[in-house]
Amino acid sequence: MDNSTTATDLWDRSSSVFGTQPHPSIWLIAVTGVVALAAVVPHGVWRITRNAVTIAHEGGHALVALLSGRRLDGIRLHSDTSGLTVSRGRPTGIGMVLTAAAGYTAPSLLGLGGAYLLAAGHITALLWGAAALLAAMLVMIRNAYGVLTVVLTGAAFVLVSWLTGPAVQAAFAYGVVWFLLLGGVRPPFELGSKRRHGGARDSDADQLARLTNLPAAVWLGLFHVVTLCCLSGGGRWLLGL
């Protein structure tokens, strides 16, 4: 392959990022939704796939911390699917509240944004955008398991974007967005269950309660509202309703 062919290929690929791609069939969209549901509901499968939701959760904390003027010290992702994002700044105030509230809502909000892009036909842009966000997040990871998880996830987006055709890219993109929308709903329910049994007393909801003097149950309810509304709205966009 000569240099001109390589340059042309690179130009075609880069141009497709900013262009639109045809919508897949409703059957493919429905099947990817069912596959995503199968990755969320069974407990044994969820123990593995929840790692992807944790990446989005901690990434949400990190992004909002930076946007609110806080200094981000690092992110840790653990094999039990828990995570920790450490930032510096005022221990109280709106910036800290937004940062604490961003975690449980981030996967669903990312899914909603992804659904909007897919509804507009920007499949390639979604894939490359996700890879770019993961690359930016990798810089702040502070443990080996976290690095491995983010690298493997980012590699999946890059390989699908670079090596596969439009049909596979569409299936992968729709599957990812469905997974974020569906997977974002489950963690607030898990948190509520833990709190009813006396656990998770230093959760994001409890931290928000201390920051705002509003009961943790109010914040947990907000997490439910956001995630369920994102699933409803994002699902309608994906299905073209």
Query: Is-contact 198 207, C-beta < 8 A?
Result: no
Which stretch of DSSP H or E encloses residue 87?
strand 83-88
Phi and psi at residue 86, to the nearest 5°? -115, 125
Q: Is residue 169 in some structural domain?
A: yes
pLDDT for residue 5: 47
pLDDT for residue 109: 98
Q: Is residue 173 in some structural domain?
A: yes
Judge whether residue 199 has pLDDT over 90: no
Q: Is residue 113 in some structural domain?
A: yes
Q: Is residue 41 in some structural domain?
A: no
For 8-21, the pLDDT digits (tens) are 554 455 555 667 88
Residue numbers of the domain that contains 72? 47-239
User: With bands split at pLDDT 50, 70 and 90, how would you rate the model's confidence at 25?
Assistant: very high
Q: Is residue 27 in some structural domain?
A: no
> How many structural domains does the chain have?
1
Q: What is the mean pLDDT of residues 208-217?
A: 96
Q: What mean pLDDT value characterizes the chain?
A: 92
Q: Is residue 88 in some structural domain?
A: yes
User: With bands split at pLDDT 50, 70 and 90, how would you rate the model's confidence at 241?
Assistant: confident
For 182-192, the pLDDT digits (tens) are 999 999 999 99
User: With bands split at pLDDT 50, 70 and 90, how would you rate the model's confidence at 6?
Assistant: low
For 228-237, the pLDDT digits (tens) are 999 999 999 9
Q: What is the value of pTM for the model shown?
A: 0.92
Q: Is residue 22 in some structural domain?
A: no
For 112-132, the pLDDT digits (tens) are 999 999 999 999 999 999 999
Q: Is residue 235 in some structural domain?
A: yes
Question: In the chain, which residue ranges form alpha helices assigned H by DSSP?
Answer: 3-18, 26-40, 43-67, 94-119, 123-138, 144-163, 166-183, 186-196, 204-212, 216-239
